[in-house]
Amino acid sequence: MKLYVTPGACSLSPNIVAHEAGIPLELKKVDLRAKVVSGGGDYNQINSKGSVPLLQLDNGVKLTEGPVIVQYLADQKPQSGLMPPAGSFERYQVLEWLNFISSEIHKSFSPMFNPAASADWKQGALANLQRRFDFADSHLKNREFLVGDRFSVADAYLFTVLGWTKYAGMDLSKWPALAAYAQRIATRPKVQEAIKAEQSLS
């Protein structure tokens, strides 16, 4: 399988999940501004959405949208525990967090990196992020992970988007539980492997 990624982007999340699950992937680096795949190739011809991540199966079938890709990968290795069993309440809790991170946190970062975004738009996005961080910080005060007592695909996603705070000029130390959580996840060996794999791409 191939995973199209851009170092530092949300594609880190499924990359982490693949490492945690022990699923080998061929990483393909994408320049999102130029829409070019490393080594040559028009990325828009591969993914008409023009975004990462994109997972291409060995039979050529493609899957987009990070929150969906991480579920697919985790379900390939159910013994990994990265996604609770179908029908369990815990699975719906993980899905709840995936949706919250995607719609309320991930998308709120977009104006922060958009040079065409107005100051008012960015200020509104920042205020929304702060409120969402307040919620996540409160949730994590007495928890190691977002759901239950195991690392899940939701943790891979939240960790990924929290990494963008330094580029958005946000001081994560304002949310002690969230900052401690990010530091814990960062020390996981498979998380470090995923990060290094992306950094080594040419």
Say what the pLDDT of residue 165 is.
Answer: 97
pLDDT tens digits for range 169-189: 999 999 999 999 999 999 999
The one-digit pLDDT tens for each residue of the chain (202 residues) are 999 999 999 999 999 999 999 999 999 999 999 999 999 999 999 999 999 999 999 999 999 999 999 999 999 999 999 999 999 999 999 999 999 999 999 999 999 999 899 999 999 999 999 999 999 999 999 999 999 999 999 999 999 999 999 999 999 999 999 999 999 999 999 999 999 999 999 7
Q: Residues 73, 202, 110, 176: is their CA dihedral positive or negative?
A: positive
Task: Please give the Cα distance from 91 to 74 (Å, whole number).
Answer: 12
What's the angle, vertex CA 54, arms to CA 50 and CA 56, rounded to 5?
130
Phi and psi at 180, nearest 5°, equal: -65, -40
Whole-model pTM? 0.97
Q: Give Rg (Cα) of the chain.
A: 17
3-state secondary structure (DSSP) of residue 38: coil
**Structural contact between residues 14 and 73, judged by C-beta atoms closer than 8 angstroms:** yes
Confidence at residue 153, expressed as pLDDT on a 0 to 100 scale: 98
pLDDT at residue number 64 = 98
In angstroms, how far is the first alpha carbon of the chain from the final one?
A: 19
* Strand ranges of the sheet holding 36-37, from the earlier edge strand across to the other edge: 36-37, 26-31, 2-5, 54-56, 62-64
